[in-house]
Structure 1
Amino acid sequence: MEHQRLNSEHDLLLLVSQGDEAAFAQLFHAYHQRLGAFVYQLTGSLSMAEEIVQEVFIRIWEKRDKLSHVSHFHPYLYTVAKNYTFSFLKKLGRELEHKQQWEMTIAADTGNPFEETMDARYRRIIDQAISELPAQRQRVYLLSRDEGLRQAEIAERMAISRETVKKHMVLALRAIRSYALTHPETNLLLLLFLPQ
């Protein structure tokens, strides 16, 4: 029975390596929940784990031609996921460190009227962009930014689905970024504070 299962998985990998999307969907459904639990143990964040699992499977699909040479998919998949997770966390750490250094530099330069003017101008432009968002999108964004609520908490408070919250956040950030890009003096600050 075990031998038959392995042959079945090997056949599935061969189909995926040949570009069979249905076989890939089958592979994804067989592993994504277990892989999500594994990545969650590494990150401690459900949303981060979801994002990483999606990225890992995108990479598996993009490099699907290599799957025909994989004899044991489970360890292969978990190695790819572990390596990607560590790279993701290192990058996140570097970005946070860069942001903290930048904030410390700004704090040290508070005597400089130019810095104060830039910060005030940036906040005014972003606040103006937020005020132009549709009411529900604005509320989702402000609950996240001002109250620090997670998507699930926002969904519960507003009685909407997490997917709707996620959609509102993506559209809000896109609208704020677009609005701010019309003001070139905010571009550097925008790159630091708004997700790409």
Structure 2
Amino acid sequence: MIHRKGRHNHTVYLPDEAGLLGKIANGDTTAFAKVFAHYRKQLYTTIFHLTGSREMAEDVIQEVFIKVWLHRERLPVIEHFGGWIYRVTEHAGFKVIRELRRTITGSEPVTEADKKDPLDLYIEKELDRLLNEAVSRLPEKQQQTYKLIKQDGLKRNEVADQLLVSPETVKWNLEQAMRSIRRFCLAKLSH
């Protein structure tokens, strides 16, 4: 186990991690799924404790692993992947909190476009395009639910009132939508 000073979270070692990272770098989706499955729960728990939101935690984990896949050729040079993925995920969680704080306070966001290199901007643009394509393929109710919650920022109860369904139905539709989006994005990114 790798212990991080002052943290309650621990990164558990994955046997043959270096071999799996090498396979991922060569486009092996089975190895990617194995690494994702190994780290997902502990990273989710970390982000959930940080944000207090299951949806935000899912979004952060999804975003981090999509970026891992997009930059997979760099993986073999990472010596301590567990610590690295934990730090990347933690930074992504803090970024979400900063953005949420800006939204709540109404302050202008820092123009991060000036700070990003062209590759990161291109990747973000491609991820947005991919996400929009995935959302457009969802069944109508899931698409409506996803857009109202994720894009319009409505709460589940507000969506339930608007769509004339129960909050449980809203929750189920959002979960199904997120699952479908994840599957679609991973399938597209693996080619």
TM-score in terms of structure 1 length: 0.52
Tell me the SS of whatever aligns to 2:56. helix
What corresponds to 1:154 in structure 2?
Answer: 167
Aligned to 1:72: 80
When the two chains are superposed, the root-mean-square deviation of aligned CA atoms in Å is 3.3
Q: 2:34 aligns with which of 12, 16, 26?
A: 26
Which among 158, 161, 164 is matched to residue 173 of structure 2? Answer: 164
**1:45–1:6: structure 2 CA closer, same or farther, 3 Å change rule?**
closer
- Shift in Å at residue 165 of structure 1? 4.5
User: 2:118 is matched with which residue?
Assistant: none
CA shift, 1:96, in A, is 2.0
Paired position in structure 2 for 1:144: 157
Distance 1:143 1:72 in 2: 39
- For structure 1, which runs of at least 5 residues remain unmatched after alignment? 100-132, 169-196
- Higher-Rg structure is 1
Shift of 1:144: 2.3
Q: Distance in 2 between matches of 1:38 and 1:7?
A: 22
The 1:34/1:146 distance shift into structure 2, 3 A limit, reads: closer
Residue 81 (structure 1) shift: 0.3
Unaligned runs of 5+ in 2: 1-12, 108-139, 178-191
CA 1:81–1:162 in structure 2 vs 1: closer, same or farther (change >3 Å)? same
Check the 8 A contact 1:154/1:165 in 2, yes or no.
Answer: no
Residue equivalent to 2:21: 13
C-alpha contact 2:159 2:170 (8 A) present in aligned 1: no
Q: Identity over the aligned pairs, expressed in percent?
A: 28
C-alpha distance after superposition, 1:73-93 (max 9, x if no partner) = 110000100111111111121
CA 1:78 to 1:143, structure 2 compared with 1: closer, same or farther past 3 Å? closer
Residue by residue, what CA displacement relative to the aligned partner does 1:8-43 show, whole Å, maximum 9, x if unpaired?
110000111111111111111111111101111111
Cα offset for 1:142? 8.8
**Structure 1 pair 10–146 and aligned structure 2 pair: CA distance change class (3 A):** closer
Q: Matched residues in 1 for 2:155 and 2:52: separation? A: 24
Alignment CA distance shift 1:74-1:98 (3 Å): same
1:27-60 deviation digits (Å, cap 9, x = unpaired): 1111111110111111111111111111111111
2:47 maps to which of 39, 44, 47: 39
Change beyond 3 A, Cα 1:59–1:147: same
TM-score by length of structure 2 reads: 0.53
What's the CA shift for 1:95? 1.8
Q: What is the Cα deviation at residue 68 of structure 1?
A: 0.7
CA–CA distance in structure 2, aligned partners of residues 40 and 143 of structure 1: 18
CA distance in 2, matches of 1:166, 1:19: 28
